[in-house]
Structure 1
Amino acid sequence: MGTERSAPQWLIILAFMAVYIVWGTTYLAVIYGLRGFPPFMLSALRYLMAAILLLSWCLYKRMPWPGWSVIKVCIVSGILMLVGGSGIVAWAEQYVTSGQAAIVIAAEPFVFLLADRKRWREYFGNAFILTGLLVGFGGIILFFGGGSSAAQPETGVSMQWVGYGAILLGTVFWVAGALHAEGNLNKRIPNVLSSGIQLLAAAIASGVLSGATGEWSGFHFERVPLQAWAGLLYLVFFGSLIAYMAFTWLITVRPPALVSTHTYVNPVVAVLMGWAFVNEQLSWMQLLAMFVILVGVLLTNFPAYKLSANRQRA
């Protein structure tokens, strides 16, 4: 069984809203950011700005710095999740649309199921969780089948599939990092401090990748359009601060495979954002898929809701 600690139900609901809804909007923000920044540079700046804000707050509150063993866990998990996971997604969004990227990432709960061996009995022994994961994934397939398969402008079909493969690889990195943090990070370490260290490590690693791939060659900050700066700032405050911290906290109070059901709702939000801002159309099949996805999310979380209700009555 899991090792989750108890937490107020209202706080859990707010955190789930952040990873379900806010994270779904960040795929569009990446598209805007890429209009002025190369992908790894965008990630490096995003993580560095968020890390400075979080660690400055920790210094202001005089939080004790953790030992080297904790720092190592933060460094490894931060690089795996934020560089190997989110950074690769940003790179792939040069070749696929924001909605397509969110849809491919829907494989994440299944990767969690396969990798999180200590909870296999909990996952595979609960009909609601297993059924919900299958229903949600079926909704993603329906959603993908009902939309356009067009790639990003001026992108060939072959690079589109390279983008899909990169996103799937990034999903594996993200799961590995999340489980490494969840299994090895001291729960007494404040989430704001551990997240700040993870973001700083990811910023340095992304900066190294950016330099190694030649992204700084010929780059000029004064040529970056306003919409790219807006995308970057949105990623900093809403993606790296609000949603990411909500995720890293949620995996300490709920099984990671349940938290990862955000990947079922994120595609819906991502495509809705595309419809609202760039006039993409939704088909009736996509609308049906949204309903199926939400049913899957409710099923996977039903055991947790029931357990929380029983605790409140006790």
Structure 2
Amino acid sequence: MNAERNAPQWLIILAFLAIYIVWGTTYLAVIYGLKGFPPFMLSGLRYVIAAVLLLGWCLLKKTPWPGWSAVRVCAISGILMLVGGSGMVAWSEQYVTSGQAAIVIAAEPFVFLLADRKRWREYFSSPFIITGLLVGFAGIILFFGGGDSGAQAAAGVSMQWIGYGVILIGTICWAGGALYAEGKLSRQVPNAMSSGIQLLAAAMASNLLSIVTGEWSHFNIQQVPAVAWGGLLYLVFFGSLIAYMAFTWLITVRPPALVSTHTYVNPVVAVLMGWAFVNETLSSMQLSGMFVILVGVLLTNFPSYKLSFRRQRV
């Protein structure tokens, strides 16, 4: 039986709100976290705390530990998504602006569209899905055309192009890890358990990178300000627990290409947070881009809205 038909519509809506809104607010939390922690260390600490909480919860509930094959799938997908995906984007932002990065990351739904071959009939049979993805991507370009996407990064042109390439590779890693887990992982493995193992594997890889790059040798915990601790805790509970678990569950009940439209909405939320809390400006072109993005997201999900309405009428 189709898992999507068994998923409560209200729960799907809440999960989408989590990846759209909550993940968008983590951009600001990362800025605060980096005031006291270097990037790989921040990621490693974030993931390990979230993993301990999730796996501890599973232990209290006496959830059976999955077999080695499931653990291997979780570990590979977690490293691909959280280190290969998020980590590569963080590295590349040394050489490209956040707006330029967001535009490249917005290619993620198209990566899912091309890689998720088993859903090609569903994707390409609906003009709403294809049109919505294209409209949403146009909205992202319009949105950052009125912001900082045209700003010059500190690096030279060659390093900017390397940065673009690394972001694209990171996007492919994220999509590959998500589809690998969705295709290989048994639905009998609880989401809390699989997410906990993914986070634990990503924490080990991130901390290893932190050691190799010398971050720990220059770190002094006494110099970490309270705002950085606050950013870390927000990333743990809202970014790595609420939003990440919502994403890993959503791709099992909704087409991954549609779930990945969070890459259209997250940068908008991040800019709105900056406007509200750190006095960043918001132009009329950005407001227009926000409207276009909203139209695109609504179009991609229109088939599911129509199906839900029909069910309510039956």
TM-score with structure 1 length normalisation? 0.94
Aligned twin of 1:150 = 151
Question: Identity of aligned pairs, percent?
Answer: 77
Deviations 1:192-232 (A, max 9, x none): 11000000010001111111122112211111222221111
The alignment partner of 1:205 has SS state of helix
Aligned twin of 2:229 = 229
Q: Does 1:289 align with 2:311?
A: no
In structure 2, how many angstroms separate the alpha carbons of the residues matched to 1:163 and 1:284? 29
Q: In structure 2, list runs of 5 or more residues that go unmatched.
A: none
Task: Name the stretch that deviates more: 16-25 or 162-171.
Answer: 162-171
In structure 1, how many angstroms separate the alpha carbons of the residues matched to 2:102 and 2:228? 20
Task: Name the stretch that deviates more: 81-90 or 172-181.
Answer: 81-90
Aligned twin of 1:128 = 128
Deviation at 1:102, TM superposition (A): 3.5
The alignment partner of 1:63 has SS state of coil
Aligned twin of 1:200 = 200
Give, as a single letter, the amino acid of the residue that structure 2 aligns with 1:131. Answer: T
Q: In structure 1, list runs of 5 or more residues that go unmatched.
A: none
Aligned twin of 1:211 = 211
Deviation at 1:6, TM superposition (A): 2.3
Task: Name the stretch that deviates more: 85-94 or 18-27.
Answer: 85-94
The alignment partner of 1:181 has SS state of helix
Cα contact 1:27–1:102 (8 A) shared by 2 = no
The alignment partner of 2:303 has SS state of helix
Cα contact 1:103–1:267 (8 A) shared by 2 = no
In structure 2, how many angstroms separate the alpha carbons of the residues matched to 1:113 and 1:157? 33
Aligned twin of 1:24 = 24
Aligned pair in 2 of structure 1 residues 26, 100: CA closer, same or farther (>3 Å)?
farther
In structure 2, how many angstroms separate the alpha carbons of the residues matched to 1:63 and 1:52? 14
Cα contact 2:96–2:155 (8 A) shared by 1 = no
The alignment partner of 2:218 has SS state of coil
Give, as a single letter, the amino acid of the residue that structure 1 aligns with 2:83. Answer: V
Cα contact 2:99–2:144 (8 A) shared by 1 = no
Matches within 5 A, 1:1-12: 4=4, 6-12=6-12
Q: Does 1:79 align with 2:71?
A: no
Aligned twin of 1:190 = 190
Task: Name the stretch that deviates more: 70-79 or 166-175.
Answer: 166-175
Aligned twin of 2:313 = 313
TM-score with structure 2 length normalisation? 0.94
Deviations 1:131-176 (A, max 9, x none): 0001001101111211123367xx3354555444332221111000
In structure 2, how many angstroms separate the alpha carbons of the residues matched to 1:29 and 1:300? 29
Aligned twin of 1:13 = 13
Give, as a single letter, the amino acid of the residue that structure 2 aligns with 1:79. Answer: I
Deviations 1:267-291 (A, max 9, x none): 1101111222222111111100000
